[in-house]
Structure 1
Amino acid sequence: MLIARLIADPLGLETRLDAASAALEGEGMRVAAAVMLDFCGDVLQIMLPDGDPATLRRVLDDHFAPADVLVSAREIEVPRLFVSDMDSTMIGQECIDELADFAGLKDKVAAITERAMQGELDFESALNERVGLLAGMAEDTIETCLAERIRPVEGARTLVATLKAKGCRTVLVTGGFHHFADPVAEQIGFEQVVGNRLAVTNGKLTGALAGAIVDSSVKKRVLLEEGSALGDEASSLATGDGANDIPMIEAATWGIAYRAKPKARAAADGWIDRGDLTAILSLLGIPRDEWVSA
């Protein structure tokens, strides 16, 4: 069984659904049912007896983009675990890029960040290079950057608060830094934070990291370990936007790419291209009247 849920422009929806159904028939995949969910009125659910999830995602993308989509080979439910990236996923910024702006280095650092997110650069080397450029910066510049630049994306607080209210454990895991991630997690409502630590001496950044690096393998390990602690059958949801999130997205029961780079989007079970993060709640089948405002 394959289940697809999508939120798309309602204009011409039936025509596009007919075209998508025909395209799937051409791939040997028969649509058994397609209905708007009663409890989430803007969500179209498409069910197929069997087929290839990647093909289904491709056909839906061809006919409904831009849309918010989730494709699953099992019944969709509220996950027991939610693990998310931070930069450009839960917040609208890349913290290291914004911090570098205070040193007049944003363009240089942002170019490295973009290439790393696209999967064109080794993450560890790119991270060390960028952190090295911040050597000598006053530690209290981070507080200024947080206050002036860093903001949660729309729907982040409601997503996390609603999942927690449904009994889901929430973990923020980032290749960024605890200096940013700890206050962001508190603001949004995450229960645990995993991230990198900037080394500081005499109130200034040394240009190095303190401790082991949180990279893509660590993100995946956190998801698997947290899920194992909840039980072998615990379902999980992961969100992210860059190449560093791909192993975590692929390891989750449902991996959703948020406004993501092409490689991360291609690796995911679904994506949010149209709405804000509350679209995830609709795709999971949580009625709007059960959302928790935060």
Structure 2
Amino acid sequence: MHQAGLVVGESRWVEPGQVGELHFAGNRAAADAAFADWRDRADVLVLDDGAREARLLVSDMDSTMIANECIDELADYAGVKPQVAEITERAMQGELDFEAALRERVALLKGLSEHVIGDCLGHRIQPMPGARRLVRTLRSRGVDCVLVSGGFHSFADVIGAELGFNAVYANRLVIEHGHMTGALEGGIVDAARKAAILQEQAGGQGLESAQIIALGDGANDIPMLKVAGSGIAYHAKPAAIAAADAHIAHGDWTVLLHALGIPRSDWAE
């Protein structure tokens, strides 16, 4: 079949009657246009074949691997959630400088006990559906999985270990005498740093762009989504969707496993 510069070839079921894949020759823009009408009803991911040979996955954490924004949850304990959540939303939309917005929000946490971190992790933080299966399945297939977060190591280290990531990069809260000082320690993991970490990881392994998948949801993820051979936006902000190669808008992270041609029978738990 030929359609607007698109040559469609072999098709097959990944999961019979539920998930299918279609191979085509032509540019990505033509394929995206051909399936545009489907996206109101289902997730359609148009990926290069190279994604199936990926050797590096780099993912954001908040609102990507977990269903929360950790700083907003901490702010709730401090009684300043409305103020912090508004700043978070504007930063993720790309309306504010990320570092300045982060420091402003962290300053509002001054005096908060470090014990709330454990309570928050235990009672509020929820992994995104399918996140654990995605990471552990890809690791079982030889993919290095790296978590890069504009949030905090206090959360990211625990979440990264639970989901199965090889390495974690995040920001560090300064805690003195058991309480947050309202400051951060060391350099900031912002949009540029996320992309730099991706490139450092890829360079250390001698990988090409086509062998890299990046996952994110907000403006802070755009540079790494663009650098990766396959940048995947997840229930994302408009700016991130525009920058990504594909967008998951309806399903959970197992959509990506299907898009990579991995049937349910091969998923890791």
TM tier, smaller: over 0.9
Q: Following the alignment from structure 1 to structure 2, what is the Cα–Cα distance between the partners of residues 136 and 71?
A: 48
Aligned-residue identity in percent: 50
Per the TM alignment, residue 34 of structure 1 is displaced from its structure 2 partner at its CA by: 6.4
Deviations 1:68-91, CA, capped at 9 Å, x for gaps: 232234444141011100001110
Q: Does 1:165 align with 2:140?
A: yes
1:116 aligns with 91
Which of 175, 181, 195 pairs up with 2:150? 175
1:114-263 equivalence runs, <5 A: 114-233=89-208, 235-263=211-239
The amino acid across from 1:248 in the alignment is M
Which residue does 1:264 correspond to in 2? Answer: 240
Q: Give the deviation of 1:285 after TM superposition.
A: 0.6
Separation (CA, whole Å) in 2 of partners of 1:132 and 1:84: 26
1:99 is aligned with what amino acid? L
Distance 1:29 1:268 in 2: 22
> Which whole-Å CA distance do the structure 1 matches of 2:255 and 2:48 have between them?
20
Match of 1:7 in 2: none
Change (3 A) 1:58 1:129: farther
Q: Which amino acid aligns with 2:165?
A: F
**For residue 50 of structure 1, what is the aligned residue in structure 2?**
26
Number of residue pairs matched by the alignment: 267
Give the deviation of 1:200 after TM superposition: 1.1
RMSD between aligned alpha carbons?
Answer: 1.8
Q: Which amino acid aligns with 1:159?
A: L
Structure 2: which 5+ runs fail to align?
none
2:226 and 2:243 in contact (8 A); partners too: yes
Are 2:63 and 1:94 aligned? no
The range that moved more, 56-65 or 145-154, is 56-65
Matching residue of 2:82: 107
Q: Scaled by the length of structure 1, what TM-score is found? A: 0.85
* Deviation (angstroms), 1:224: 1.1
Q: CA deviation at 1:259?
A: 0.7
Q: Which position in structure 2 is the counterpart of 1:280?
A: 256
Consecutive unaligned residues of structure 1, counting only runs of 5 or more, are 1-20
SS at match of 1:32: strand
Q: Stretches of 4+ moved more than 4 A in 1?
A: none
Deviation at 1:253, TM superposition (A): 1.2
Change (3 A) 1:287 1:107: same
